[in-house]
Amino acid sequence: MLKEFREFILRGNVVDLAVAVAIGTAFTAVVNAFVASFITPLVAAVFGKEQFAGLLFTINGSEFTYGRFLNTLLTFLITAAVVFFLIVKPMNLFLQRRKDEEVTPEAAAPAEDVRLLTEIRDLLAERRA
């Protein structure tokens, strides 16, 4: 059982997944910092508040902090857009080109006997004309 577990861990898929999670976590931190440093102040300026996360409304004593939700939503949308345009779209184009190259193989040269028969046919056609 330990041997199987070791083989599972050392498989490329598990290592690739671990790297993807680590990079994804670091990327999320970068996007969070971008949203907090640039996007949040812009939106807060539009609403006239200093802290975007402080945007809220109250109904019967209950506070609804929609600023935090909007901040998280912006972070998600920016992350999704960057992943789509910098990873998914280029990968789809690459795979499509690769697929197109595989689908359209170069025309094979005709066999020697077919080539000779074609030449004979063309010569006979020239004699008749």
pLDDT per residue as tens digits for the range 11-67: 767 777 887 888 888 988 888 888 888 877 887 777 776 667 777 889 999 988 888
Q: How many angstroms separate the CA atoms of 38 and 30, rounded?
A: 12
- Identify the structural domains of the chain with CATH numbers, from first to last: 2-128 (1.10.1200.120)
- What single-letter DSSP state applies at residue 54? G
Name residues whose C-beta falls within 8 Å of residue 45's C-beta, 6 or more positions apart in sequence.
none
Provide long-range contacts, Cβ within 8 A and 24+ apart, for 64-73.
70/43, 71/35, 71/36, 71/40
Confidence of residue 107 (pLDDT cuts 50, 70, 90): low
pTM for the structure as a whole: 0.54
State residue 106's pLDDT score: 63
